[in-house]
Homo-oligomer: A and B are copies of this chain.
Amino acid sequence: MSGTLHGVGLGPGDPELMSVRADRLVRGTRHIAFFRKAGRDGRARAIVDGMLREDAIECAMEYPVTTEIPLSNPRYNEVLSSFYADCTAHLRDLVDAGEDVVVLCEGDPFFYGSFMHLFTRLKDFIPVQVVPAITGMSAAWTASGAPITWGDDILSTVMGTLDEATLTRAMTDADALVVMKIGRNLPKVRRALEASGKAARAVLVEFASMDGQTVRALSEVAEDNLPYFSIIVVHGQGRRP
């Protein structure tokens, strides 16, 4: 009798924005696994603080590297692959022994999430269920206080890690924009926004739906480096009766 592995999206950070299903699974499941950076509490784990069963068994999966090795270095893939192999072996043992396991996922598990690395390695061997969630970008455009898309607007979601030419082309062709993974890429993102004619409409949202949420016009942002939880939105201007 196998258990089930649940990849549970927790949403953007506010526990009240978890789905009813996620809330039920988090509160009711004994085995709770989550990724975190070594030495940190873990962002996903922080969202469910105070919600776990008294007899919960937690499994912190600590990344061996985050930004210490550049993505382009083959070592990066090697180290991470071996890490994911260890994680999946442990999760598979639990599920094979009949246990249900919840993997806590920030945002939506299938949208730029780390869970997918477990999912692709496990889906053919054990039952895996995925609970979608409110994305960080939804929380960001909600915080911005205006609809992101209208009518037939094209919305593009781009990562600040892309090269400037690719960013500029994608930004030019879209009506509405979401930019994530900004961090130290802000100067490049800003140049691409300017080249695409969208800089004046860009809004920076930090810590959307969380304590410390801020919303500023990008033109008023002086710093060149942003925290992880930063999202730029550019609202569409489509048809509106």
The 8 A-B pairs at the shortest CB distance, nearest first, are namely: A80-B241, A116-B147, A132-B138, A16-B21, A132-B142, A155-B157, A110-B147, A77-B241
A171 to chain B, nearest CB (A): 10
- Contact A240:B117 (CB < 8 A) given known A134-B132, A149-B112: yes
Kindly identify which residue among B71, B108, B161, B162 contacts A138, using a CB–CB cutoff of 8 Å. B108
Question: Within the assembled complex, what's the spacing in Å between the Cα atoms of A150 and B110?
Answer: 9
- Residue tally, chain A, CB below 8 Å to B: 66
A239 with B71: CB separation less than 8 A: yes
| Given A12-B132, A14-B21, A119-B147, 4 additional A-B pairs, CB 8 A | A71-B239, A116-B150, A123-B145, A154-B170
**Inside 8 A of A150's CB, which chain B residues have their CB?**
112, 116
Q: Contact flags (1/0) for A115-141 with B, using CB distance below 8 Å?
A: 011011001000000111111001101
User: Mind listing 29 A-B residue pairs with CB under 8 Å?
Assistant: A12-B132, A16-B24, A17-B131, A17-B132, A19-B19, A19-B134, A76-B241, A77-B241, A108-B138, A110-B138, A110-B141, A110-B142, A110-B148, A111-B141, A111-B147, A116-B240, A119-B147, A120-B240, A132-B134, A149-B157, A152-B159, A152-B161, A152-B162, A154-B156, A154-B157, A154-B162, A154-B166, A156-B156, A156-B174
Residues of B near A216 (CB, < 8 A) are none
Please measure, in the bound complex, the distance between the C-alpha atom of A14 and the C-alpha atom of B170, giving whole angstroms: 33
Nearest chain-B residue to A157 (Cβ)?
A: B155
Report Cα–Cα, A241/B16, bound state, in Å. 33
Cα–Cα, bound, A148→B108 (Å): 10
Could you tell me the distance between the alpha carbons of A112 and B141 in the complex, rounded to whole angstroms?
A: 12
CB-CB nearest in chain B for A156: B156
- Is A241 a contact of B117 with CB atoms below 8 Å? yes
Interface centre among A76, A116, A147, A148 (most CB of B within 10 A): A147
Chain B: which residue is nearest A208 at the CB level? B132
The smallest beta-carbon distance between A173 and chain B, in angstroms, is 6
In chain A, positions 1-15 with a C-beta closer than 8 Å to chain B are 11-12, 14-15
Chain A, residues 65-84, CB within 8 Å of chain B (1/0): the string is 00000010000110011001
Measured between C-beta atoms, what is the minimum distance from A127 to chain B in Å? 12
